[in-house]
């Protein structure tokens, strides 16, 4: 009997409410995370924002987004840039191309002097580094 009363419209409405609730939870976590990672806020400021978000969640989130939305964006951009730089450094280190072309040529010349590589290998690797 209950299944027959629960139509397609009810399912769509329930999914919409679930989606909005999930979106709200993500927004709360993002704002609270931004409160804790803000270096420009003092400890008291962080506590006041956190209390506002906890005791008046809808109003607190809305006021925080209006008052500190640009700072929130700046913090996200700084985090993304730091992560990108760390990933790029790791990839260059793992690939063995962490230095500049001059450093790479000096390393190749050192390997040639020690006899590890011959003239043909040196020329091939030099062309690869330069070109």
- What pLDDT is recorded for position 104? 81
pLDDT of 89:
86
Q: What is the predicted pLDDT for the residue at 125?
A: 86
Task: Indicate the pTM of the whole model.
Answer: 0.61
Say if CB 52 and CB 63 are below 8 A apart: yes
Q: Look at 121 and 97; give whichever has higher pLDDT.
A: 121
pLDDT in tens, 59-97: 999 999 999 999 999 989 999 999 999 998 888 888 766
| Res 24 pLDDT > 70 | yes
Residue 4: per-residue pLDDT = 64
Q: Give the model's pLDDT for residue 35.
A: 94
Mean pLDDT of the chain: 88
How far apart CA 121 and CA 127 sit, in angstroms, is 10
Q: What is the pLDDT of residue 6?
A: 74
- Reading the block at residue 60, the tokens are 């607190």
Distance CA 34, CA 98 (A): 33
């Amino acid at each position: 009997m209950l299944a027959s009363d629960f139509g397609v419209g009810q399912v769509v409405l329930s999914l919409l409410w679930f989606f909005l609730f999930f979106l709200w939870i993500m927004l709360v976590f993002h704002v609270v995370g931004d409160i804790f990672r803000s270096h420009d806020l003092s400890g008291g400021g962080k506590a006041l924002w956190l209390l506002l978000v906890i005791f008046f969640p809808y109003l607190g989130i809305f006021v925080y987004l209006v008052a500190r939305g640009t700072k929130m964006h700046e913090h996200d951009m700084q985090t993304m840039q730091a992560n990108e730089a760390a990933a790029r450094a790791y990839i260059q280190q793992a690939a063995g191309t962490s230095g500049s072309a001059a450093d790479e040529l000096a390393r190749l010349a050192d390997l040639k002097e020690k006899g590890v590589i011959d003239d043909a290998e040196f020329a091939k690797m030099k062309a690869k580094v330069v070109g």
